[in-house]
Amino acid sequence: MRLLTTVANQAAAAVEKARLFSKVQRLSVVDDLTQLWNRRHFLEVLEKEWKRAECFNHELALLIIDIDHFKHYNDQNGHLAGDGVLKELARIFKEHVREIDCVGRFGSEEFLVVLPRTSKDGAEVAAEKIRKEVEVHEFPLGEHQPEGKLTVSIGFSCYPEDGEDAAKLIHTADIALYRAKNQGRNRVEGARREDKTEAGLGQHRLTV
């Protein structure tokens, strides 16, 4: 009995150690607030998906999603309310993408979605679906936003048309996002031919 007890205690300790190690590993790649992949891990996923697309000659799409007037929301309602919005948006994003897609939190109010084996047209459809879902969702205190509701703007790009590698995909999608912002927000914009040239002139604000 003493031997069995000793073995059982050692086994329990080993299981608990493995559980804690697994938890620590998960915390290192997951955003604590939204439970989405964090920036570092998402970029690793994007790089792997790009290499797979390059190897098998598949298309690969990327969305950058930014919350419109999020600073205004936080200033008006407080950061706890803003955290609630971030968590709810994460849920919406995860519910309206495919299982093979990957969603990550990239910055304070920015999210990225990688869409394997997705064309430019497919990316636009996916982005527009997400935009509409956010637009019709009733967020607490969203009626106090400048447009009377909480919305998002989305820029998207597609490999190989808009960038030959993961970094350029981010650059061109980011340029498209800023175009969406400049044209009134709550809209979807795709990368254009000239964006590829602009991205090639230097590092944009987002880098892999």
Catalytic residues: 109
Residue 176's H or E segment, with its range, is helix 166-182
Exposure string of 45-80, with b = 16+ CB inside 10 Å and e = fewer, is: bbeebbeebeeeebbbbbbbbbbbbbeebbeebeee
Q: Which two tokens stand for residue 194?
A: 């000239």
**In sequence order, what are the residues at sequence separation of 6 or more whose Cβ sits closer than 8 angstroms to the Cβ of residue 175?**
155, 191, 195, 198, 199, 204
Q: Terminal CA-to-CA distance of the chain, rounded, Å?
A: 57
Cα(134)–Cα(152) distance, integer angstroms:
7
Write out the H or E segment, with its range, that includes residue 67.
strand 60-67
Q: How many CB atoms lie within 10 A of CB 143?
A: 11
